[in-house]
Chains A and B, each alone.
Chain A
Amino acid sequence: MHRHDVVVVGAGLAGQRAALAAVEAGRDVAIVSKLHPLRSHSGAAQGGINAAVGAEDSVDTHIYDTVKGSDYLGDQDAIEFFCREAGPTVVEMEHFGTIFSRGSDGNLARRPFGGQGFPRTIYAADRTGLALLQALYERLGTESFTLYEEWDLTRIVVQDRRVQGIVAFDRRHGDFAGIAAKSVVVATGPAGRIYGRTTNAHSCTGDGIAAAYHAGAQLKDMEFVQFHPTALLESGILITEGARGEGGILKNVGGERFMSRYAPHVLDLASRDVVSRAIWTEVKEGRGFPGGYVHLELMHLGRERIESRLQEICDFCRNFAGVDPVTEPIPIMPGQHYMMGGIGTNIRGETNIAGLFAAGEAACVSIHGANRLGGNSLLETLVFGKQAGNAAAAYSDRAAPTDISEEVVEGESRAVHAMTDRKEGEEPQHLRTEMQATMDELVGIYRQPQELLEAQRRIGALKLRFASVRVVDRSSVYNINLTDALETGHMIDLAEVIVAGAIARTESRGAHARVDFPKRDDANWMKHTLARFTPDGPELSYAPVAFTRWEPKERVY
């Protein structure tokens, strides 16, 4: 058995930042990740990171924009803390060596992003996540910690409502091990692959969220799923909001700049939920291009600007859609992009289980509420990664030693090997495809009650079928067929929570748009959804939203 003070699961920006904080606090730290840290999905973030550092901008405006963007479901105390940390966080990352884009004055360049009053999104061309991930990895590399690289998490062990550590296996030879820890930080990112049409990487399967849920952690606001307005038509690859920040515009089949009808003041740079619904409506009402999509036009920006500021986007369009954005419009449709929900935490990253912490997209503090603003997620990973790392370090300092028994490890190993030993059964990839089709069709941008109930029925059936899932590959070396199965199980559990939350919430708020309840209902629904695991499905309860200075108003862009 392995033993550490703090075990961080996930090695993206939140996980690495948490690990750095815990190492700096003098703890024995390990990172467990199914990917090499530089392969993390944080690296795919394109557009930028928000910080109100411009002379005309203010932290208060950043707070207000985030509160409004959240459709008043974000906790205002957390949002205030978050926005105040933005400036110092960017400075720290710049000092770690991040290569940001700069203006001719030598200072960090900023671009406008959706739903925000000022150009406050600091960026590194259109690969801001990669630039931050590299710098943080380089900085963390100067410290001493243990990296369990390409290990798959199967369980977070909790006894008497206290974390004991995790069980995981080394993908390289399939050996299971208990990793005892006084504190566990979950930073495994989102579960975007619950949907088929998503901008997320194949690895975004919510492993840590599902493990925490099974261990008794409360999941918060899972029904709030963000659809990014501009994903490439066929592949779902993300086209950054920065493309519209640089001046890109959306047009329907009639060549109309249709956003003028949905957001007359800020047009294409309205909040993401607003733009996604607008595109959906255009296509649904017959103003899309044949096959069902709209155009994102950049051509008027000129070759120089497109190729220098949107370099990766140019490559994506040329390589993956056969379209040159310098001379042609880009065919786009909204795609699943971000989960506002996650493991419920406070601003220190603490969950309802002693010793269990969470940060980044796996967590829900909540600062994004019902809809996240572009540029706030990279910031979240760093601000709350650090918070969770500090809290985990402090907790481990006063916690008694923990232990994971051999029986627990063997039990995990047996349960997993039952899948490879089975002679009959459905293969995980087929269950996954069905789950994705269900979520795409029935739990999308607009939600109908009958469709949600049908989704609940189908996901419930998938859950039963998953109990006899069969892994064909029997090798102990790098068996990703086994990983397929584990991930699929995690996602089915989380899909069930998303659907349950969506059925219960009889209002429209942010990214959750119910056709039968088109208005926000502050009297009844100004509250967070909490989901707790039971063998019969999620048990829902509700918690109040924290308010400080901003009274709810109708959102107009």
Chain B
Amino acid sequence: MEAEFVKAPIEVYRYDPGTDRAPRYDRFELELAPHTPVLTALLKIRSDLDPSLTMRYSCRSSICGSCAMVINSKSRLACQTPVGPELERHGRIVIDPMRNMPVLRDLVVEMGGFWGNYRKLEPHLVENPDRPLPEGKTSSMSPEEVDRFKETPRCIACGACYSACPAVEHDAEFPGPMSLAKLYRFVVDPRDGAHRERLLKIQTGGLWLCMRCHLCTEACPKDVRPSERIRDLKEMAIRLQGATEHGSKHAIGFKDNIREKGVLNEFKLVRQTYNSLEMLAQVPQGLKIRRKKPELTQTPKAIEGLAEVEKLYQILDDEPGDSP
């Protein structure tokens, strides 16, 4: 099992906000077997080269969630990322702290906001009056009910998804992919009695700020697929109470809109999303678009083969979806 060693240039973000004027990168040269995890490389640096490098780590087997960081621009677990493929692809390994969280020092970030967003969604079982927990016995759950958890029980709350998420970066209201995946876990739990309240609350609690870029799903080291669970939550929310605010109105509007002509009517989509008063606020933006891309403000013509589009819609209409 002896592997050949390769040269591994590693550049690590260093910053102590209390004493350093600006962040810097320290460069270390190691000789490592290609399958060596980045975490092991960092521990080697700490042990042999610079014990002052600080970071979080514990289990080294991708179950405690401590060592999430940005490795060659991707948010992931250091213990689960071997150096070989990184060196092949990038020639070096650049390590930064997670994004969307303030740096405490070096690779350690302040995760208070991350945990706070999670706790805000009240992640605990609320007893279901329609299905009370049996006294002195465990409850029963059908295989179908168990399947609905999908991969959410695997979540280790490492924060990689939160670090990768542009919606978190842009909007303080967005609870983050992990929190929503956790919320989903409660919404589908047959033992939980707060399905409706959870969905109603999240409809206006940031659910629709997710822009479906799927970077969270790409980042997740445990294949929890948060973006797909966010999609499920959106579907369930709409089924529960229809389109009630911008995000869901936009989604429903989008769907109905394309059905008409087979192509998006941008101008109409604005009306489908906003009420008259809110539309006023969109006027400056509308004028700008009219000046730069006048074709977008005109009603498009129906495409050829509109009937084919309609067939697709009918298939989708017949498809049974998840309901809470």
Residues of chain A touching chain B, judged by Cβ–Cβ distance below 8 Å, are: 35-36, 38-41, 43-44, 88, 90-91, 94-97, 99-102, 104-108, 124-125, 127, 130-131, 134-135, 138-139, 141-142, 172, 201-203, 233-235, 237-238, 291, 311-312, 315-316, 319-320, 322, 331, 427, 429-430, 433, 471-481, 484
From A39, A238, A291, A473, B54 is in contact (CB under 8 Å) with A473
Q: In the bound complex, how far is the Cα of B48 from the Cα of A433, in angstroms?
A: 12
Count chain A CB atoms within 10 A of each CB in B51, B65, B143 and give the residue with the most: B51
Least distance between B67 CB and chain A CB atoms (Å): 10
From A38, A39, A202, B60 is in contact (CB under 8 Å) with A202
From B18, B55, B154, A480 is in contact (CB under 8 Å) with B55
B268 at the interface (CB under 8 A from A): no
Q: Cβ of A480: which chain B residues have Cβ within 8 Å of it?
A: 54-55
B105 at the interface (CB under 8 A from A): yes
Q: Cβ of A477: which chain B residues have Cβ within 8 Å of it?
A: 16-18, 54, 104-105
**Could you tell me if A429 and B46 are in contact, using CB atoms closer than 8 angstroms?**
yes
What's the dominant secondary structure at chain B's contact region? loop
Q: Cβ of B320: which chain A residues have Cβ within 8 Å of it?
A: none
> What would 14 A/B residue contacts be, using CB atoms closer than 8 Å?
A38-B64, A43-B156, A44-B64, A106-B142, A127-B153, A202-B59, A474-B52, A475-B16, A477-B18, A477-B54, A478-B104, A478-B105, A479-B52, A479-B54
Given A172-B104, A322-B35: A102 and B141 interface contact (C-beta under 8 Å): yes
Q: In this complex, what residue of B is CB-closest to A46?
A: B63
- Excluding A106-B142, A138-B123, 8 further A-B contacts by CB distance (< 8 Å) are A35-B58, A95-B139, A108-B138, A201-B58, A233-B1, A475-B19, A475-B52, A478-B106
Least distance between B274 CB and chain A CB atoms (Å): 38
Q: Cβ of B123: which chain A residues have Cβ within 8 Å of it?
A: 138, 141
**Could you tell me if B62 and A319 are in contact, using CB atoms closer than 8 angstroms?**
yes
Q: In this complex, what residue of B is CB-closest to A135?
A: B125
Q: In the bound complex, how far is the Cα of B139 from the Cα of A235, in angstroms?
A: 39
Q: Chain B 94-125, CB within 8 Å of chain A: the 1/0 string? A: 00000000001110100100010001000111
Q: In this complex, what residue of A is CB-closest to B136?
A: A91
B298 at the interface (CB under 8 A from A): no
**Could you tell me if A96 and B108 are in contact, using CB atoms closer than 8 angstroms?**
no
**Could you tell me if A312 and B138 are in contact, using CB atoms closer than 8 angstroms?**
no
Q: How many residues of B contact A (CB 8 A)?
A: 55
Chain B 1-32 interface residues, beta-carbon cutoff 8 Å to A: 1, 16-19
Residues of chain B touching chain A, judged by Cβ–Cβ distance below 8 Å, are: 1, 16-19, 35, 37, 46-47, 51-52, 54-66, 80, 82, 104-106, 108, 111, 115, 119, 123-125, 133, 136-143, 146, 149, 153-154, 156-157, 185, 189, 191-192
From B19, B64, B105, B108, A41 is in contact (CB under 8 Å) with B64
Q: Cβ of A427: which chain B residues have Cβ within 8 Å of it?
A: 51
Q: Cβ of B141: which chain A residues have Cβ within 8 Å of it?
A: 102, 106
Q: In the bound complex, how far is the Cα of B144 from the Cα of A459, in angstroms?
A: 56
Q: Cβ of A43: which chain B residues have Cβ within 8 Å of it?
A: 59, 63-64, 156
Least distance between B124 CB and chain A CB atoms (Å): 4
Least distance between A31 CB and chain B CB atoms (Å): 14
Least distance between B80 CB and chain A CB atoms (Å): 5
Q: In the bound complex, how far is the Cα of B54 from the Cα of A97, in angstroms?
A: 35
Q: In the bound complex, how far is the Cα of B17 from the Cα of A108, in angstroms?
A: 50
Q: In this complex, what residue of B is CB-closest to A45?
A: B63
Count chain A CB atoms within 10 A of each CB in B63, B80, B154 and give the residue with the most: B63
**Could you tell me if A320 and B156 are in contact, using CB atoms closer than 8 angstroms?**
no
Given A38-B157, A234-B1, A473-B52: A320 and B146 interface contact (C-beta under 8 Å): no
Q: In this complex, what residue of B is CB-closest to A471?
A: B51
**Could you tell me if A291 and B1 are in contact, using CB atoms closer than 8 angstroms?**
yes
Task: State the 8 A-B residue pairs at the shortest beta-carbon distance, nearest first.
Answer: A473-B52, A106-B140, A97-B125, A138-B124, A201-B59, A94-B138, A201-B58, A203-B58
**Could you tell me if B47 and A99 are in contact, using CB atoms closer than 8 angstroms?**
no
From B61, B62, B104, B133, A95 is in contact (CB under 8 Å) with B133
Given A141-B123, A479-B54: A44 and B59 interface contact (C-beta under 8 Å): yes
Q: In the bound complex, how far is the Cα of B189 from the Cα of A237, in angstroms?
A: 32
**Could you tell me if A96 and B54 are in contact, using CB atoms closer than 8 angstroms?**
no
**Could you tell me if A312 and B1 are in contact, using CB atoms closer than 8 angstroms?**
no
Q: Cβ of A44: which chain B residues have Cβ within 8 Å of it?
A: 59, 61, 63-64
**Could you tell me if B51 and A429 are in contact, using CB atoms closer than 8 angstroms?**
yes
Q: In this complex, what residue of A is CB-closest to B64?
A: A39
**Could you tell me if B1 and A331 are in contact, using CB atoms closer than 8 angstroms?**
yes
Q: In this complex, what residue of B is CB-closest to A481?
A: B51
Least distance between A141 CB and chain B CB atoms (Å): 6
Q: In this complex, what residue of A is CB-closest to B47?
A: A429
Q: Cβ of B153: which chain A residues have Cβ within 8 Å of it?
A: 99, 124-125, 127, 130-131, 134
Least distance between B121 CB and chain A CB atoms (Å): 11
Q: Cβ of A233: which chain B residues have Cβ within 8 Å of it?
A: 1
**Could you tell me if A41 and B59 are in contact, using CB atoms closer than 8 angstroms?**
yes
Q: In the bound complex, how far is the Cα of B224 from the Cα of A315, in angstroms?
A: 14
**Could you tell me if A139 and B60 are in contact, using CB atoms closer than 8 angstroms?**
no
**Could you tell me if B80 and A319 are in contact, using CB atoms closer than 8 angstroms?**
yes
Q: Cβ of B63: which chain A residues have Cβ within 8 Å of it?
A: 43-44, 127, 130, 312
Given A97-B125, A107-B140, A477-B104: A235 and B16 interface contact (C-beta under 8 Å): no
Q: Cβ of A433: which chain B residues have Cβ within 8 Å of it?
A: 47
**Could you tell me if A99 and B125 are in contact, using CB atoms closer than 8 angstroms?**
no
Given A139-B124, A433-B47: A99 and B104 interface contact (C-beta under 8 Å): no
